[in-house]
A and B are shown apart, each in its own frame.
Chain A
Amino acid sequence: MSDLLSNLVLGAGVAFSWSALFYCFAGVSLGMVVGVLPGVGPLPAIAMLLPITFYIDPTEAIIMLAGIYYGGQYGASTASILLNLPGTPPAAVTCLDGYPMAKQGRAGVALFITAIASLVGSMFGIVLVGTFAPVLARFALEFGAAEYFSLILFALIGTSAIGGDSFLRSVSMVAVGLLLGIVGQDVTSGQFRFTFGIPGIADGLSIVAVAMGIFGVSEVMASAHVARDKKPESFGFRNMLPSRSDFRRAWPSMGRGSLFGAICGILPGAGASMAVFIAYAFEKRISKTPEIFGKGAIEGVTAPESANNATAQTAFIPTLTLGVPGDAVMAVMLGALMIHGINPGPGLIEEQPQMFWGLVVSFLIGNAILVILNIPLVGIWTRLLQIPYAVLFPIILALICIGVYSINYSTFDIFLVIAFGVLGYGMKLLRFPPAPLLLGFILSPMLEENFRRALLLSRGDWMTFLVQPISGVFIGLSTALVLFAVITALRRRGPGRHPGALSETE
């Protein structure tokens, strides 16, 4: 404990210098701005700033780049809550309850509590980074192909089995998502599947285009013919403050969300998308009032927001201590360190204590800055909703198009986002939930790759999924969830009815 304290003092010495504070501030504010813009996200911002960092101290460089990354997580929820526009795939889950809250005139509350939830998640993640980084990195190495397959299977079954209102609709959407995820080049064989010779989808459908299509574009289409309720909204600070009962419901969900987020951040590849879906599903499952989820439940906002911010912090653990980046952003960060002659790996904390602890303390400072920046902005953001639809909708559509285009400079993606908008609109009319589709779609390539890799590694022995302990546990849990769902469905049906026709439970 005294070790930790002296380390934090060492880090504070680095992070509280004027120049470090400046780069931290610059990073988090830039991150927040690019996070708010749908589709842009932190990756291009970090990549563009990389050459500039050659000329500054490596610790300050990484403090700034890291600030863009976790600052982006704060910003990403804004467009989701206000406009149902998930700028990043994980933010899609925040749409589920955040946007209904905004529609009820509680946008200010949602944004305010999101800032708090983000802070809680980040702090939890930072504590883990500071105390257990090397141990946790070793744990991540225990996850091989079989373990990832079983974990993903569990996440898919878990999130749809506890979907609540309609198990079948959720499962069928997961299945559609899995199928959409097959499009593109197969990693194992190198074959192109369902690409029809179109270069724009040779590497699969763009995740951001799918997410923004089925959430954002479809929402614009659905609202376009609905006259806006002329509800007089008040923008006083008091209306932004969550009530005491809001807080009572939100606190525990933030804790649970942080935990799921932190775990997924440590596993390279699992990432924020899986964390937010699990966190959301878990909240719904244990809630005494699962029926209000999707209609503006505050836990439905706070749990995923805490989760994705915790992920953003703990994702540094494998990157720094194993040299294993979990996603493209972390890979750029790794490159930035290497160009400065710092080689991430198990020895990093001992060899570069000033850098490591300076970074940890800068996380604390950066998150504090973000909350201070965010709270006053809440009032400004909510005024966005006062813009007449006739003006707002074209702007949203333009932002969506620019956002998806900027990711890969592909015009095809613009058509794709519109096509998925139409699909999402159809799903909305038929009451098919969009979130399970997105989850299935995001996890589909990972599920398949790891499944086939595990079988290659075991030379075709299927028992590999059961005999490896971590994998076996997840398979067991998944089986239990399926049995649970089936038994509940049968029991609800009561005796004397035909037990086979599950589809009639709708």
Chain B
Amino acid sequence: MTFLKPVGSTIALVALAAPVMAQENWPTEPVHIVVPYSAGGNNDRVARTLSEPVSKELGQPVVVENRAGAGGTIATGEVAQADPDGYTIVMCEIGTMGINPHVYNNLTYDPVDDFDPVIQITSVPLILGVGPKLGVSTFEEFLELAREADPEIDYASSGQGSAQHLAFEYFKSQAGIEALHIPYNGASQARTALISGEVGAFIDGTLIPSIEDGEVTPLAVTSSERVESLPDVPTMQEKGIDVDYTAWHGFCAPDGTDPAVVDKLNTAVADALKQPDVQERFKALNIGIVGGTPEEFATFIQEENAKLGKLVEESGAAER
């Protein structure tokens, strides 16, 4: 059987060399972006808007997979355990990386330790909007009503522990007002209830189309700067309420991914984000583009995680 020896050692050599080759030539197979929510929301839209231009940059197909469940935490946990070969990455965002780790007590992942952040893609300022129910049209009127109303005014969210829920609780505690939380199943249900007058207020990032139609009145934005498409709407900070809160999306790879692969992915996405038609599509969705390096995103996630943890605790949004 001696004649097999050289064959055996060749196989061993090839096997040893394979991972190195794989990383140098990466990507040699399709890249999967796991979206931990069902199709139809902003997470899905961001992933699908980028899938095609990023695939052109990488020279390999980019496949978007929706794996919804438990506020995005199931699929995020699965990707944390996946092979760190750069072929499976996850859409990470304020909910799965910032809020849920403080709301759910049995998460299977650590948002900081279990991931190698690739790039921050977006920043989405949230807007405090009111519908026909409250009969107010300015931020001052709203605050006055919220302080005096009995029973207290109510507000919608896309669910217990959602980014929208936390934003309103944060606003409540900073402004010193009372409001009853009415959880809905997703942002579009909550928006419907706002438009029909079932519920009084809603803080969300998808209100602009309804604002343009005159169905929703914008009172203030939660970011530290005004929103480009709503230049007349003040920030909460301008009005003396210390709120600085934006939703965001990005890509994260499992911990242990080769830094060279992370860099390649970062460059591919960053280049795609610079294309005018991509920028136009994001603008149509009212989503702001960020970009930046993996290191910047890693620092950002750490800061957000710490900040949101404090918010969850202070606002009592996690009370079970």
Binding site for B on A (CB under 8 A): 43-44, 46-48, 50-52, 54, 141-142, 144-145, 185, 187-192, 197, 199-200, 202-203, 268-269, 322-325, 328-332, 334-335, 338-341, 343-347, 408-410, 445, 449, 453, 456-457, 459
A185–B70 touching, CB < 8 Å: yes
A409–B41 touching, CB < 8 Å: no
Q: Which of A54, A144, A331 contacts B198 (CB 8 A)?
A: A144
A457–B284 touching, CB < 8 Å: no
- In the complex, chain A residues whose CB is within 8 Å of the CB of B195: 141, 322, 324
A339–B284 touching, CB < 8 Å: yes
B320 interfacial by beta-carbon distance below 8 Å: yes
Tell whether A190 pairs with B185 under 8 Å between CB atoms, given A323-B209, A324-B192, A331-B39: no
CB of A219 to closest CB in B, whole Å: 29
* Docked complex Cα distance between A328 and B67 (Å): 13
- In the complex, chain B residues whose CB is within 8 Å of the CB of A339: 45, 49, 281, 284-285
- In the complex, chain A residues whose CB is within 8 Å of the CB of B64: 47-48
A190–B196 touching, CB < 8 Å: no
B228 interfacial by beta-carbon distance below 8 Å: no
B117 interfacial by beta-carbon distance below 8 Å: no
- In the complex, chain A residues whose CB is within 8 Å of the CB of B213: 323, 343, 345-347
Stretch at the interface among B122-130, B153-161, B247-255, B302-310: B153-161
* Docked complex Cα distance between A7 and B85 (Å): 55
B28 interfacial by beta-carbon distance below 8 Å: no
Q: Mark B27-57, 1 if CB is under 8 A from A, else 0.
A: 0000000000011110011001101100000
- In the complex, chain B residues whose CB is within 8 Å of the CB of A52: 52
- In the complex, chain A residues whose CB is within 8 Å of the CB of B161: 190
- In the complex, chain B residues whose CB is within 8 Å of the CB of A334: 40, 188
User: Which are the 6 A-B pairs with shortest beta-carbon distances?
Assistant: A331-B40, A190-B160, A345-B213, A202-B70, A343-B209, A141-B196
B192–A268 touching, CB < 8 Å: yes
A335–B45 touching, CB < 8 Å: yes
B210 interfacial by beta-carbon distance below 8 Å: yes
B68 interfacial by beta-carbon distance below 8 Å: yes
A203–B215 touching, CB < 8 Å: no
A409–B67 touching, CB < 8 Å: yes
A324–B191 touching, CB < 8 Å: yes
- In the complex, chain A residues whose CB is within 8 Å of the CB of B215: 345-346
* Docked complex Cα distance between A325 and B191 (Å): 11
- In the complex, chain A residues whose CB is within 8 Å of the CB of B70: 185, 192, 199, 202-203
* Docked complex Cα distance between A323 and B70 (Å): 26
- In the complex, chain A residues whose CB is within 8 Å of the CB of B91: none
CB of B49 to closest CB in A, whole Å: 7
* Docked complex Cα distance between A43 and B66 (Å): 11
CB of B6 to closest CB in A, whole Å: 42
B284–A335 touching, CB < 8 Å: no
Q: Which residue of A lies closest to B154 (CB)?
A: A457
Q: Which residue of B lies closest to A446 (CB)?
A: B185
A332–B198 touching, CB < 8 Å: no
* Docked complex Cα distance between A188 and B185 (Å): 9
A197–B106 touching, CB < 8 Å: yes
Q: Which residue of A lies closest to B70 (CB)?
A: A202
**In residues 161-202 of chain B, which contact A (Cβ within 8 Å)?**
161, 180, 182-185, 188-189, 191-193, 195-196, 198-199
- In the complex, chain B residues whose CB is within 8 Å of the CB of A189: 160, 320
B90 interfacial by beta-carbon distance below 8 Å: no
- In the complex, chain A residues whose CB is within 8 Å of the CB of B281: 54, 339
Q: Mark B70-112, 1 if CB is under 8 A from A, else 0.
A: 1100100100000000000000000000000001001010000
CB of B147 to closest CB in A, whole Å: 18
CB of A411 to closest CB in B, whole Å: 11
A408–B210 touching, CB < 8 Å: no
B69–A408 touching, CB < 8 Å: yes
* Docked complex Cα distance between A339 and B287 (Å): 11
CB of B122 to closest CB in A, whole Å: 14
A269–B209 touching, CB < 8 Å: no
CB of B91 to closest CB in A, whole Å: 14
B320–A191 touching, CB < 8 Å: yes
B151 interfacial by beta-carbon distance below 8 Å: yes
* Docked complex Cα distance between A302 and B64 (Å): 37
* Docked complex Cα distance between A141 and B195 (Å): 8
Q: Which residue of B lies closest to A192 (CB)?
A: B70
* Docked complex Cα distance between A52 and B44 (Å): 15
- In the complex, chain A residues whose CB is within 8 Å of the CB of B106: 197
Tell whether A331 pairs with B41 under 8 Å between CB atoms, given A185-B70, A189-B320, A457-B199: yes
Provide a sorted-by-A list of 30 A–B residue pairs whose CB atoms are within 8 angstroms: A44-B39, A47-B39, A54-B281, A144-B193, A144-B196, A190-B159, A192-B70, A197-B106, A199-B69, A199-B74, A199-B108, A202-B74, A269-B189, A322-B195, A323-B191, A323-B209, A328-B40, A331-B41, A332-B40, A334-B40, A335-B285, A338-B285, A339-B281, A339-B285, A344-B209, A345-B209, A345-B212, A409-B65, A456-B180, A457-B154
Most buried by A among B40, B66, B103, B160: B40
Tell whether A190 pairs with B45 under 8 Å between CB atoms, given A331-B188, A341-B284, A409-B65: no
* Docked complex Cα distance between A237 and B320 (Å): 64
CB of A459 to closest CB in B, whole Å: 5
